[in-house]
Amino acid sequence: MLSNVRTLWMVFLKIFKKKVTIQYPEKKAYLPPRWRGRIILSRDPDHNERCVACYLCAAACPVDCISLQATEDENGRRYPEFFRINFSRCIFCGLCEDACPTYAIQLTPDFEMGEYNRQNLVYEKEDLLIDGMGKYHGYSFYQQAGVAVGVKPKGGGEKEDPPVDVRTLLP
Amino acid sequence: MNEILVQILIIVGVLLGTVTIAAGLIYVERKMLAVWQQRSGPNRVGPFGIFQVLADMVKIFFKEDWIPPFVDKKVFIIAPTIIMLSILMSFSIVPFAPGIVIADLNIGLLFFLAMSSLGAYTIVLAGWASNNKYSLLGGMRGAAQMISYEVFMGLSLMGVVIQVGSFNMTDIVNAQKGLWFVVPQFVGFVIFLIAGVAETHRLPFDLPEAESELIAGFHSEYSGMKFGMFFVGEYLGITLVSCMITILFFGGWLGPSFLPPIVWFLIKMFAFILFFVLLRAALARPRYDQLMSFGWKLLLPLALLNVLITGAVVLSNA
CATH code matching the domain that covers A34-140, chosen among 3.40.50.2020, 3.40.1400.10, 3.30.70.3270, 1.20.1070.10: 3.30.70.3270
| pLDDT more than 70, % of chain B | 99
Q: Considering only alpha carbons, which residue of chain A is nearest residue B44?
A: A23
Q: What is the mean pLDDT of chain A?
A: 87
- Residue from B30, B31, B35 to probe the interface with A (highest A Cβ count within 10 Å): B35
Q: Considering only alpha carbons, which residue of chain B is nearest residue A1?
A: B294
Cβ neighbours of B282 in A, within 8 Å: 4, 7-8, 10-12
Which of B36, B39, B283 lies nearest to residue A21, judging by beta carbons? Answer: B39
CB B105 within 8 A of CB B268: no
- Distance, CA of B298 to CA of B312 (rounded, Å): 21
CB A104 within 8 A of CB A50: yes
| pLDDT recorded at residue A134 | 87
| pLDDT recorded at residue A84 | 92
Model's pTM, two decimal places? 0.76
| pLDDT recorded at residue B303 | 87
Angle at A17 between CA A16 and CA A22, to 5 degrees: 130
The one-letter amino acid at A122: V
Q: pLDDT tier at B90 (50, 70, 90 boundaries)?
A: confident
The one-letter amino acid at A54: C
pLDDT at B116 over 80: yes
The residues on A that touch B, with CB distances below 8 Å, are 4, 7-8, 10-12, 14-15, 17-21, 23
Q: pLDDT tier at A122 (50, 70, 90 boundaries)?
A: very high
Which of A8, A15, A18 lies nearest to residue B282, judging by beta carbons? Answer: A8
Cβ A11–B36 below 8 Å, yes or no?
yes
* Residues linked to residue A83 through DSSP beta bridges, in sequence order: A68
* Residue spans per domain, chain A: 34-140
Judged by CB atoms within 8 Å, which residues 271-300 of B form the interface with A?
A: 278-279, 281-283
* Residues linked to residue A84 through DSSP beta bridges, in sequence order: A67
**What ipTM score was computed for the predicted complex, to two decimals?**
0.70
pLDDT mean over A49-68: 91
